[in-house]
Structure 1
Amino acid sequence: MAFDWSWFWPEFFTAINQTLYMVIVSLIISIIIGIPVGVILVITRENGILENKWIFNILNVIINIFRSIPFIILVVAIIPFTRLIVGTAIGTTAAIVPLVLYTAFYIGRLVESSLLEVDKGTIELAQSMGATPWQIIWRFLLPEALASIVLNLTIATIGLIGASAMAGAVGAGGVGDLAITYGYNQFQTGVMIITVVTLIVLVQLVQTLGNFLSRKIRRK
């Protein structure tokens, strides 16, 4: 039986909207969590401006745990938590919970890497001027690392797009769900090609935007 393409296209655009919804909402929440996590890792590490080995070690272990779990396994493992937060473990909104846990701590690690690139002389200069830890973070660390942070957030966003596609395998909707339901299960090669190309275009747009913003920041 021939595939009904007229019925497919409305589903395709709905899937794109679902993917964008998952990615944008998850990214915003992950950034809100991830940037402070990265900052805390830097300032509490050995020789940091607020050195605290207990906080650093505990947070470091938590991040390593979440980064070690494959996303598909994470989705299943936290079903009770997801159900507690959003009332269900299935659907586009439910997928945001594991997506945030998967991405937020990854962003934290990336932000840590960006902040560690800042010249220590800049921090020492700020301290010699009598700057408080908050002033050092807000006026020196983050501005100096901003271009690198933008590039790392671009990497995290691309990873998030890939994870949102995998979420389709567990009924989260989006482009990934479309690829599995119609492309894989119904052996429709055309559907698979369309979904793959869509994801490639989305990733290219994100990477191009990230590179552009990073260049603009560096020129300033």
Structure 2
Amino acid sequence: MLPESLISLLPELNKAFLETIYMVGISLVVAIIVGLPLGVLLFVTDRGLFLENVRLKQVVGFVVNMVRSIPFIILLVALLPLTNLLTGTTIGPTAASVSLSVAAIPFFARIVETSLREIDKGVIQAAVAVGATPWMIIKEVLVPEARHGILQGITITTISLVAYSAMAGIVGGGGIGDLAIRFGYYRYDNTVMVTTVVILICLVQLIQFSGDYLSKVLDKR
């Protein structure tokens, strides 16, 4: 039988869970939309490839590494002015999605770049030899060949976003982390703390299982 404190908190738990899904969903979509082409750019501008541009590669790589090197809690606070500008507020799941997106974009971009590096260079050279345009090579060769690694990267990014979203509760970002802090930490309610941890573990396991399953289905190697 559930403790009374937990039963009374069920509506809050449901709301917090949906807020977490909302934050992670928005941030993941932004990370894919921006991070995928950014990762491709990092790869194709490298030495010896069809869009070689060492200076551009260095600049983009520096920016990506700079954002990735900032601890998320510091990035969360540093981006509060930008968050307020874009959303009109600095609290709530929509506001937290701004910082989550900024953190996820370079993270996913590097995963995409790593996945593309696993492609046999002979496949790319063959595409160049038959006169394929850069866009055709990216669309018809690079992305399909790296599909398995990119999908695994999406899974890893999603799990990281779940962890980051919990941290966003420190500044009132909403979600399960916010609930754990307000009801578990501040009120010294261990039942709430344990419950939120169990929910996060189950969510991460579900994401990992789904990602692994889709990766196996789509892997044609």
| TM above 0.5 | yes
For the superposition of Structure 1 and Structure 2, which TM-score range results when normalised by the shorter chain? over 0.9
Q: Does 1:211 align with 2:202?
A: no
Structure 2 SS opposite 1:186: coil
| Partner residue in 2 for 1:64 | 65
Q: Aligned partners of 2:172 and 2:146: how far apart in 1?
A: 38
Structure 1 SS opposite 2:201: helix
| Partner residue in 2 for 1:183 | 184
Identity %: 47
User: How far apart are 1:5 and its partner, in Å?
Assistant: 3.3
Q: What is the one-letter code of the residue matched to 1:137?
A: I
Q: Which runs of 5+ in 1 are unaligned?
A: none
What does 1:91-106 align with in structure 2 at a 5 Å threshold?
91-106=92-107
| Partner residue in 1 for 2:46 | 45
User: How far apart are 1:185 and its partner, in Å?
Assistant: 1.0
| Partner residue in 1 for 2:10 | 9
RMSD: 1.2
User: How far apart are 1:201 and its partner, in Å?
Assistant: 0.5
| Cα-to-partner distance string for 1:1-39 (whole Å, 9 max, x where unaligned) | x97434311000000010000000110011100000000
Q: Given the two structures, how large is their TM-score scaled by the length of structure 1?
A: 0.97
Q: Given the two structures, how large is their TM-score scaled by the length of structure 2?
A: 0.96
| Cα-to-partner distance string for 1:82-101 (whole Å, 9 max, x where unaligned) | 11111111111100110000
Structure 2 SS opposite 1:96: helix
User: How far apart are 1:129 and its partner, in Å?
Assistant: 1.3
| Partner residue in 1 for 2:31 | 30
Structure 2 SS opposite 1:89: coil
Q: What is the one-letter code of the residue matched to 1:13?
A: N
| Cα-to-partner distance string for 1:155-212 (whole Å, 9 max, x where unaligned) | 1110010000000111011000111111111111111111001000110011011111
Q: Aligned partners of 1:219 and 1:130: how far apart in 2?
A: 25
| Partner residue in 2 for 1:144 | 145
Pairs aligned (count): 219
User: How far apart are 1:107 and its partner, in Å?
Assistant: 0.4
